[in-house]
């Protein structure tokens, strides 16, 4: 350690320097003037071609993309700082991932090195920011598109009526019904968007902002089934409840508003996606030994093609079907469901064998203890 009033020793400086560089968040490499790596922090490891130790190797042997080395080469050649944005592909956990990087190389003095100078390379990973930006752009584009379609249909019918086609009562009635259908769709899109925005406005701290209380999941599902009763009857669907026995119970410490949304969307999807008779929907829950629980909604209907499975939780994603025009929906339901589940620290997955079985499974960790309810004296 450095004593007050005495110059710290070389070892102290190098320890402090490497802990600073290790914790800086950006990838950082130092090379000598032949581009042989002298230092690389842990964040740089993501960018390496192989898990071999980079120190002592040439930069081009180490880095996953030759364009990173080219930035360093230019800086060495021209002896000026160079900054460049790059998009590269890295392999992580068996997957390929696109990364957006800003690479900045600058010449530095390297006392002790044979030539007395070298190079530092700072690589900032801006992938997360870019992806968030892209999601926002897509959302605005998709939302405008989804709102524009029913609006232009309503405007078209209104124009016809305004231009005088009002003597034929049958025509007028048909126009009004079509406009009503599309204005209901507009209302549903706006309602779903408001729900998403309510979920997102609590940001990263969702868990802390949830209005958690202890409620019975079985009761929550029964309320949702009551609301959907007319559709269940119309479809002649059978709903099987698969809940723990009364002595075990199905209580959950969560925000009941969110769970209403979850079960309403999942059960409504099972009903509206399936036109064939004989629809059976299973809704259930089981407790896990670790104190968490599993919830599911399954059906024996048309299912979701394998190719669409990875995308169904994305906003506005709807599986293309020959009859898709007949099925009402905004493509926002499952993204609302996923937000609600994630706000509770859980995960949702879907598995489907078209025509046989489609199951949405929610896994929840043990809920935090609720504060005791104070009773008035
Ligand atoms: P939507 O408002 O269109 O229902 P969702 O986000 O709720 O939007 O669902 C996305 C898509 O996933 C739906 O368009 C539908 O094609 C598919 N999907 C969801 N649940 C089911 C299900 N139980 N059976 C078949 N397809 C489903």
Do 99 and 90 contact (CB within 8 A), yes or no? yes
pLDDT over 90, % of the chain: 45
Asked whether residue 25 carries a pLDDT value surpassing 90, the answer given is no
Report the candidate in 363, 340, 358 with the shortest Cα–Cα distance to residue 297.
358
- pLDDT computed for residue 375 by the predictor: 45
- β pairing state of 213-216 and 251-254: antiparallel
Which is more confidently placed, 56 or 369?
A: 56
pLDDT digits 0-9 by tens, 69-86: 999 999 999 999 999 999
Spatial distance between the Cα atoms of 150 and 144, rounded to a whole number of angstroms: 11
Instruction: Return the number of other C-beta atoms located less than 10 Å from residue 220's C-beta.
Output: 19
Residue 250's closest CA among 291, 225, 229, 219? Answer: 219
Cβ neighbours of residue 268 closer than 8 Å, sequence gap 6 or more: 228, 231, 333
Q: Given this model, what pLDDT does residue 203 score?
A: 54
Distance (Å) from CA 310 to ligand 1 centroid: 12
The whole-angstrom separation of Cα 130 and Cα 134 is 6
> Which residue out of 196, 269, 306 has the highest number of ligand 1 atoms within 8 Å of its CB and is therefore the one to mutate?
269
What are the residues whose beta carbons fall under 8 Å from the beta carbon of 10, sequence distance 6 or more? none
Cα 90 to Cα 24, 45, 53, 116: the distances in Å are: 21, 11, 18, 34
Say which range, 25-29, 138-142, 364-368, has the weakest mean pLDDT.
Answer: 138-142
Check pLDDT > 70 for residue 355.
Answer: yes
**Among the CATH numbers 1.10.8.60, 3.40.50.300, 3.40.190.80, 1.10.287.130, which is that of 126-201?**
1.10.287.130
Question: What average pLDDT does this structure show over 57-67?
Answer: 87
CATH number of this structure's domain 10-125, picked from the four choices 3.40.630.30, 3.30.950.10, 3.30.450.20, 3.40.190.10: 3.30.450.20
Q: Where are the domains of the chain?
A: 10-125, 126-201, 211-377
Q: Report the C-alpha gap between 212 and 230 in whole angstroms.
A: 30
The pTM (predicted TM-score) of the whole model is 0.64
Lowest mean pLDDT among 5-19, 297-311, 341-355: 5-19
Mean pLDDT across the stretch 248-277?
A: 92
Atom of ligand 1 nearest to the CA of 330: 2
The best mutation among 150, 237, 273, 339 to test binding of ligand 1, ranked by most ligand atoms within 8 Å of the C-beta, falls on: 273
Mean pLDDT of 174-196: 87
**Residue 50 dihedral angles phi and psi, to the nearest 5°:** -140, 165
Confidence class for position 343, pLDDT limits 50, 70, 90: confident
Please provide the average confidence, as pLDDT, over all residues in the chain: 85
> Which class is domain 211-377?
alpha beta
| Under 8 Å between Cβ of 365 and 289 | no
Distance CA 125, CA 86 (A): 10
Residue of the CA atom closest to atom 14 of ligand 1: 318
What is the 82 CA–ligand 1 centroid distance (Å)?
49
Residue 193 has pLDDT above 90, yes or no: no
- In this structure, the residue with its CA closest to atom 8 of ligand 1 is 331
Centre a 10 Å sphere on the Cβ of residue 344 and count the other Cβ atoms it contains: 22
């Amino acid at each position: 350690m450095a004593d007050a009033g005495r110059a710290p020793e070389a070892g102290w400086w190098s320890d402090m320097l490497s802990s600073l560089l290790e914790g800086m968040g950006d990838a950082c490499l130092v090379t000598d003037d032949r581009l042989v790596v002298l230092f690389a922090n842990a964040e740089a490891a993501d960018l390496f071609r192989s898990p071999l130790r980079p120190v002592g190797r040439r930069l081009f042997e180490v880095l996953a993309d030759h364009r990173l080395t080219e930035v360093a080469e230019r800086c060495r050649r021209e002896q000026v700082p160079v900054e460049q944005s790059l998009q590269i592909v890295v392999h992580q956990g068996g997957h390929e991932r696109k990364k957006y990087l800003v690479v900045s190389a600058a010449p530095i003095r390297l006392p002790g090195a044979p030539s007395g100078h070298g190079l530092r390379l700072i690589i900032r990973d801006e992938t997360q920011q870019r992806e968030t930006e892209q999601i926002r752009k897509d959302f605005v584009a998709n939302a405008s598109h989804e709102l524009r379609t029913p609006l232009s249909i309503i405007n078209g019918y209104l124009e016809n009526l305004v231009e005088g086609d009002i003597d034929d009562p049958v025509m007028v009635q048909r126009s009004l019904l079509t406009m009503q259908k599309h204005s209901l769709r507009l209302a549903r899109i706006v309602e779903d968007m408001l729900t998403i925005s309510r979920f997102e406005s609590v940001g990263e701290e969702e868990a802390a902002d949830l209005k958690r209380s202890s409620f019975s999941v079985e009761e929550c599902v029964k309320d949702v089934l009551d609301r959907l009763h007319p559709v269940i009857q119309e479809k002649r669907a059978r709903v099987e409840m698969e809940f723990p026995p009364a002595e075990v119970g199905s209580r959950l410490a969560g925000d009941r508003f969110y769970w209403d949304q979850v079960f309403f969307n999942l059960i409504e999807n099972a009903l509206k996606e399936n036109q064939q008779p004989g629809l059976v929907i299973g809704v259930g829950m089981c407790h896990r030994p670790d104190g968490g629980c599993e919830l599911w909604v399954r059906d024996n209907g048309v299912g979701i093609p394998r190719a669409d499975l990875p995308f169904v939780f994305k906003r506005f994603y709807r599986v293309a079907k020959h009859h898709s025009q007949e099925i009402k929906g905004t493509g926002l339901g499952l993204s609302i469901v996923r937000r609600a589940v994630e706000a509770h620290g859980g995960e949702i997955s879907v598995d489907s064998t078209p025509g046989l079985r489609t199951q949405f499974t929610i896994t929840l960790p043990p809920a935090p203890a609720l504060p005791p309810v104070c009773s008035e004296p």
